[in-house]
Amino acid sequence: MRRNRIVALIGAAALLGGCVQESQQVGRANFEAYCAGCHGDNARGNGPLAGELEVAPPDLTLIALRNGGDFPMTRVMSVIDGYTRADQHGSTMPEFGALLEGPTVMVEYEGGVMTPTPATLVALANYLESVQR
């Protein structure tokens, strides 16, 4: 599977405040706000709420490893935004509407399709890609 390319990364960074480093900070801040409760500060599935869930949250630092070394950007964003996870995790993973609001950036998906995608969702997915082991 061809790795999806994020197009206009510089444009995404500008929308998020002016630099790639700030985009990374936005991604981490969104992770801390929306994901760390279950997945843990280190993204390894050991958050304070993990023990209360019927299905243990996955270790998000192993996404690429579980996918043959490739980080499936499109699939990750689809799981986060709820598009492809109707029954995942016993349906306990909440919807993240705030991640879908605000400015968008163009992302090239499979087949060369350019799609406007929420910049905050892209930032979170890029953050998750950065914590892969």
Arithmetic mean of pLDDT over the chain: 83
pLDDT (tens digit, 9 = 90+) per residue, 86-111? 555 455 788 788 888 899 999 988 88
Find where tokens 């981490």 sit: 28
Angle, alpha carbons 26-17-94 (nearest 5°): 30
pLDDT score recorded for residue 2: 45
Please tell me what DSSP assigns to residue 124. H
Q: Which CATH number fits domain 9-130: 1.10.760, 3.30.70, 1.10.3470, 1.10.10?
A: 1.10.760
- How many Å apart are CA 85 and CA 35, to the nearest integer? 15
List the structure tokens of 115. 């799609």
Residues 29-44, mean pLDDT to the nearest whole number: 96
Nearby residues of 56 by Cβ (< 8 Å), 6 or more positions away? 45, 50
Write down the pTM of the prediction.
Answer: 0.81
pLDDT score recorded for residue 91: 57
